[in-house]
Amino acid sequence: MNREISCEVYRRLLAHYPIVGGRRNFIHFNSPFESLILTILSAQTTDRAVSAIRDDLFARYPTPEALARAEPEEVEPLIRNIGLYRSKARYIVGTARKLVSDFDGQVPRTIEELQSLPGVGRKTANIVLSHAFGIDVGIAVDTHVRRVSKRIGFTGSTNPDIIERDLMALFPEEAWKNINYLLISFGREICTAKNPKHERCCVADLCQCYQDLLRAGEK
């Protein structure tokens, strides 16, 4: 897919999912620290589940210093309703301790430093940089972004790193901050994993997957 068509897809999705007040995050946070911890917790878990434990978690551990003093076993009961809670308790306590020991209690602002924290990969680092600091050096690729990008034709790969590079090549840098939000919103509502809603799709005429279905006589 060329850049002209990709940008038309972007324009249509932006019209369908307007970004009000610059808000592009699905989970509310009050600080970079909260953004980081909540993003770590959100892996393989619904936003609703993470939002449900947010207030109790930060009432108990409002700062990196407070969380760093905890043991993972103390944190587990507060997050046990989310997936992989034992591993995530270790990650967030380890992250808090590293913030205190290596970064003076501050969330770092580079992708390399963020990825040095327990439980933080490139996707999480991209999300935190974009949402907490307005720094966009890449595009976070999750399961929705991966599925939608492949179907529409933005990429031929299923590898998140390659998909990210393909998306960055297709879209101007000023659009990077919106791509994750738009593709997740579209993937949740229309381009779902099962039974995608082709009849309601605002980019069906530009979608490689849908055009392939038409040619095969399946639509």
Q: What is the CATH number of the domain that holds 161?
A: 1.10.1670.10
Quick one: pLDDT at residue 103? 98
In a domain? residue 42: yes
Euclidean distance between CA atoms 163 and 169, whole angstroms:
10
- Alpha carbon separation from 5 to 2, 8, 153, 215 (Å, rounded): 6, 5, 10, 20
Q: What is the CATH number of the domain that holds 120?
A: 1.10.340.30
What's the pLDDT tens digit per position in 82-116? 999 999 999 999 999 999 999 999 999 999 999 99
> Do residues 54 and 14 share a domain?
no
Exactly one of 123, 136, 166, 177 is catalytic; name it: 123
**pTM check: above 0.85:** yes
84: left (phi over 0), alpha (psi -120 to 50) or beta: left
> Do residues 15 and 102 share a domain?
no
The CA radius of gyration of the chain, in Å to the nearest whole number, is 19
> Do residues 101 and 45 share a domain?
yes
123 counts as catalytic: yes
Quick one: pLDDT at residue 210? 94
142 counts as catalytic: yes
Q: How many structural domains does the chain have? A: 2
Q: Last residue of some domain: 92, 117, 133? A: 133
In a domain? residue 27: no
Provide the domain limits for residue 60: 32-133
Place of tokens 């393989």: 44
What's the pLDDT tens digit per position in 147-202? 999 999 999 999 999 999 999 999 999 999 999 999 999 999 999 999 999 999 99
Exactly one of 88, 98, 136, 142 is catalytic; name it: 142
> Do residues 170 and 121 share a domain?
no
In a domain? residue 175: yes
In a domain? residue 193: yes
Q: Last residue of some domain: 105, 133, 161? A: 133
Q: Last residue of some domain: 118, 133, 148? A: 133
